[in-house]
Structure 1
Amino acid sequence: MNILIKQATVLLPDGTVKETDIAIEDDLIAKVGTIAPDWHIDREINATNKLVTPGLVNTHTHASMTLLRSYADDMQLMDWLQNKIWPIEAKMRKNDIYWGAMLAIAEMIKTGTTTFADMYADMEKVGEAVAETGIRAVLSRGLIGSAPNGNKALEENKELFQTYHNRADGRITVMFGPHAPYTCPPDYIKKVVKEAQSLGAEIHMHLSETIGEVENCVKEYQKSPIALMEELGLFDCGVLAAHCVHVSDEDILIMKKHDVRVAHNPGSNMKLASGIAPITKMLDAGICVGLGTDGASSNNNLDLLEELRLTTLLHKVNQYDPLAIPAAKGIQLATEYGAKAVGLPKVGKIEKGYKADLTLFDMSGTKWCPRHDIVSLLAYSANSSSVDTVLINGKIVLDKGILVTMDEERVMYEANRCAMNLLK
């Protein structure tokens, strides 16, 4: 199908904006610029007064935790996990995972996200939801090696890879998901690495999220979590590392050496009081950093535009430097860098040959006036209520604020029903 996005204000790869057209052929951007008059058009989108950006990329979340939104708040991380989250997660069944994922996908599409990286249990149900809704996803089965089902979960991750990797028109890719060093002993990590390498899969893992995690790792293994994972060969697989809040200069050198990509989750890190990840040091070292929301039980939303704004503001005040993360850099982290972080080479830019994953923002509202600097307005002024239309893989999934591939009312009903049943 050929789609013409006409008279748009387009965010270009160099961070500037230009009024032009975008031609889409099937799942790819065919041209950015004046389109030949004889080019066949199946559908035209009038994008006058619309800003078109690459779709936002959520590099780290736990989609089905939408069922636990507002369930357990204002707690320390380990208290939150051990006494509230893990006990209720043990009651979750496949139907809960499916509807929790559907609710998450609805929220992400409506807030401009076109790709997400997910880690949880029963991931085949998330795969079903992704296939049905048209979103792009990087899925991994959360693995807790210290749990009685650790080996079974590893087998499930293998099956997930074999069933879903590069499926749904190539929208789904699969990684392995060891949870964290404190839940996955070294021998288990070695098993994960072996299985991932046998399939050519990469790894998505929480690393160095809290001070306590790092201190306990050093006490037990005489190494930081980053150094320990290097010793165990984890970084030989290609790694998306979530959080990386408490990393030393030596850790950053190791991460750069192995091309570890980072999912920065400012909202979750702030809410759980985990700390502030030194992402400007990482960026200066040449490490790829994308943005993530984490799960809706620790954020409590999946609005990546909000994470973009938090990122630009948080690092300014933390470093007493208004230039720490400028608006254009923040947008780059949310799009191009995010796509690289989750391992997708032709996603995240509005450029010929890239996937047609696009978000259209309606600039008619007061928050977009006056327009001295549209890039600045997107980062500092706009919010996700401006999201008008979303295309993923060349298909329209949100049309003027209406979900095309989902029954939003039913999704909310079923998700709420599942959440309430978990409390019984």
Structure 2
Amino acid sequence: ACLEMIKSGTLFFNDMYWHWRGVAEAVKEMGIRACVSAVFIDFFDHSKYEEQVRLNVRLMEESKAYPSRVIFALGPHAIYTCSEEGLRWCSEFAKEHGLLIHIHLSETEEEVKECLKLKGLRPVEYLEKIGFLGPNVIAAHSVWLSEKEMDLLAQYGVKVVYNPVSNMKLSVKGVFPYGELRKRGVQILLGTDGCASNNNLDMLQSAKIGSLLQKHHTGDPQAMPAKEVLEIITRAGAKAFGIEAELKEGDLADLILINPNDERLVPGFDPASDLIYSATGSVVDTAICDGKVLMKGRKVEGEEELIEEVRKRAFELLSR
């Protein structure tokens, strides 16, 4: 996954699920940046809650041994897999230690209906009631939102992640309310979601599809224009994770070089439009993270061996 991201120009990613150590090791080895959340799922079982608390505390301590390129965060999976006790602990622990929180939110209508049935509240309303919302919360999906919920997300400074390809592939039967959230000043990020619900990690592909979906859904060809999308997948995305830098001497050296002679980018009258609507990640020639060249001339050191190893291990897993 890290190799695929480097090859398509992604130098920072946000991940949440199992195998925190494995992901952190891959980030360390491949030289990119990531916010890696240790997933928290207790399935409303107190013994599992206690187990998850111990695991997350231990992983936070372990994370201190990793380079600053690896950001530790908490990952309560969703309101339907985490108890109120677990959600409250994540919120309080994150505030105490200055951590980000990643959660899946209102991806499907069924999630909303279940929350209304069990809690008498919609998901965002429930999270507000238990004191979970805040500017350190990153909410993936956020498709099935009411007007009041969007107001609450804006009020508490919650960041939301638009995952257009995943939403369509999994048929969540709704479209991310980009215009309504942006109008309220909610910070919007763009994601690919995991490979299981997308099939690739090419951010430029997701950027194009995300923009086109908004135009189609709203009937407005000016919706989610290329320059806004480019801002979201670069500066705005980094800022949400506490990374603020510019292309200037002495600043963070994270950058990619695009091949301007790629046939999809010629003649180059509007670079933002060309990148979002014409290109894929294959136009990236060079990738540099933290001052280290990770890819040059579309070649990553050791990529052939890595690909062969992955192929071998994948078939070994299938044969078990």
Coarse TM-score class (shorter-chain normalised): over 0.9
Matches of 1:224 and 1:249 in 2, distance apart? 11
Instruction: Check if 1:412 corresponds to 2:307.
Output: yes
1:107 aligns with 2:4: yes
Q: CA–CA distance in 1 between the matches of 2:24 and 2:316?
A: 23
Show the counterpart of 1:51. none
Unmatched tracts of structure 2, length 5 or more: none
Deviation at 1:351, TM superposition (A): 4.7
Show the counterpart of 1:239: 137
The structure-2 alpha-carbon separation of the partners of 1:286 and 1:237, relative to structure 1 and needing over 3 Å to count, comes to closer
Structure 2 counterparts to residues 381-392 of structure 1, below 5 A: 381-392=278-289
Superposed, 1:239-388 pairs within 5 Å as 239-274=137-172, 275-341=174-240, 343-347=241-245, 349-351=246-248, 354-388=251-285
Higher helix share: 2
Q: In 2, are the aligned partners of 1:288 and 1:340 still within 8 Å (CA)?
A: no
Is 1:194 the counterpart of 2:89? The answer is: no
Q: Aligned match of 2:50 in 135, 139, 151?
A: 151
SS of residue matched to 2:82: coil
Kindly provide the CA deviation profile for residues 292-346 of structure 1, in whole angstroms up to 9, marking residues without a partner as x: 11110110101111111112111011101111111100111111121123x2231
Mapping for residues 47-66 of structure 1, pairs under 5 Å: none
Instruction: Return the offset for 1:149.
Output: 4.0
Is the partner of 1:113 in helix, strand or coil? coil
Q: How does 1:117-266 map to 2 (within 5 A)?
A: 117-146=14-43, 149-165=48-64, 167-168=66-67, 170-236=68-134, 238-266=136-164
Higher relative contact order (CA 8 A, sep 6+): 1
Quote how far apart the aligned CAs of 1:119 are.
Answer: 0.7
Aligned CA-pair RMSD: 1.8
Q: Name the aligned partner's letter for residue 141 of structure 1.
A: A
Q: Within 1, Cα distance between the matches of 2:295 and 2:107?
A: 34
Would the aligned equivalents of 2:202 and 2:280 in 1 still touch at CA under 8 Å?
A: no
How far apart in 2 are the matches of 1:303 and 1:280? 24
Which residue type is aligned with residue 144 of structure 1?
I
Q: Is the 8 A contact 1:193 1:237 kept in 2?
A: no
Shift of 1:126: 1.2
Matched residue of 2:196: which SS? coil
How far does the alpha carbon of each residue in 1:234-286 deviate from its partner, in whole angstroms, 9 at most, with x for none? Answer: 11471011010111111111111111001111110110011211022111111
Name whichever structure is richer in strand by fraction: 1
Is the partner of 2:197 in helix, strand or coil?
Answer: coil
For 1:400 and 1:154, locate their aligned partners in 2 and report how far apart those are by CA, in whole Å: 45
Counterpart Cα distance in 1 of 2:188 and 2:132:
19
Separation (CA, whole Å) in 2 of partners of 1:354 and 1:281 = 34
Distance 2:228 2:186 in 1: 14
Secondary structure of 1:273's partner? coil
- Aligned to 1:339, the other structure's residue is in SS state helix
SS at match of 1:391: strand
Partner residue, 2:316: 421
Check conservation: 2:16, 2:37, Cα contact below 8 A: yes
Change (3 A) 1:417 1:149: farther
Taking the aligned partners of 2:184 and 2:250, their CA distance within structure 1 comes to: 29
Q: Describe the superposition over 1:338-368 as per-residue Cα deviations: whole angstroms up to 9, x where unpaired.
A: 1123x22314x43566422111111212211
Shift of 1:154: 3.0
CA distance in 1, matches of 2:290, 2:22: 21
SS in structure 2 of the partner of residue 402 of structure 1: coil
Asked if the contact 1:140–1:157 (Cα under 8 Å) also holds between the matched residues in 2, the reply is no
Equivalent AA in structure 2 for residue 139 of structure 1: V
Q: Which amino acid aligns with 2:195?
A: A
Distance 1:236 1:130 in 2: 27
Q: Secondary structure at the match of 2:193?
A: coil
- Distance in 1, Cα, partners of 2:135 & 2:260: 43
TM-score normalised by length of structure 1: 0.71
Q: Which sections of structure 1, spanning at least 5 residues, go unmatched?
A: 1-103
Q: Secondary structure at the match of 1:302?
A: coil
Amino acid at match of 1:143: F
Distance 1:398 1:272, change over 3 A: same
**Alignment partner of 2:237: what SS?**
helix
Aligned mates of 2:263, 2:277 — CA distance in 1: 13
How does the TM-score come out when normalised to structure 2? 0.93
Once residues 17 and 176 of structure 2 are traced to their aligned partners in structure 1, the CA distance between those partners, rounded to angstroms, is 23
- CA–CA distance in structure 1, aligned partners of residues 81 and 62 of structure 2: 26
Contact 1:201-1:237 within 8 A present in 2 as well: no
Given that 1:346 and 1:353 are in contact with CA atoms closer than 8 Å, whether structure 2 keeps it comes out as no
Judge conservation of contact 1:114–1:136 (CA < 8 Å) in 2. yes
